Amino acid sequence: MEIDVGELREALDAGRDLQLVDVREGWEQTLVRLPGAFLIPLGELEKRLPELDRERYTVVYCHHGIRSLHAALALASRGFRDVRSLRGGIDRWAQEIDPSLPRY
C-alpha cells in the first residue's frame, strides 16, 4: 500500500502515467509541493472522488505519510485499482531526493 521516495522518483523519471494527489492543506502546499500534484485535502477527499480516475496508478502524499496512508486506504476501499501512499511524505522526499526543498 506504500511506495518509497526512490520508487516514486524512478516512476516519475520514467514518465509513468500516474496521478499524484497531495492530501495536505492548501497552506502546506504553498510551502512546498511536488510538481504535477493535484491538491485534495484529506477532509475533502470523499466529496471530490469524481475528480480522480479510479483506473490510473495513484500516489497520494502528505507531510509525513500518515494522512496519505489513510487516504490510500479510503481510495482502495472505493474501487481505486492501484493506489499507494508515499512513505515518509514530502518531508522524506526533501531529505532523500531533493534537499533544496524547504522543510517544515
- What span, in angstroms and rounded, lies between the C-alpha atoms of 89 and 93? 7
When pLDDT is cut at 50, 70 and 90, the band that residue 22 belongs to is very high
Is 48 contained in some domain? yes
> What is the domain extent for residue 6?
2-96
Residue 32 C-beta-side C-alpha neighbours within 13 Å: 17
Taking CA atoms, 43 is separated from 16, 21, 24, 86, in Å, by 28, 13, 9, 18
Is 102 contained in some domain? no
Over the stretch 39-95, which tens digit does the pLDDT of each residue have? 999 999 999 999 999 999 999 999 999 999 999 999 999 999 999 999 999 999 999
Is 104 contained in some domain? no
Taking CA atoms, 21 is separated from 8, 76, in Å, by 13, 14
Burial class (CB within 10 angstroms; exposed 0-12, middle 13-18, buried 19+) of 88: buried
- pTM given for the model: 0.96
- How many structural domains are present in the chain? 1
Assign residue 75 the CATH number of its domain: 3.40.250.10
What pLDDT does 66 receive? 98
Q: For residue 40, how many other CB atoms are within 10 A of its CB?
A: 20
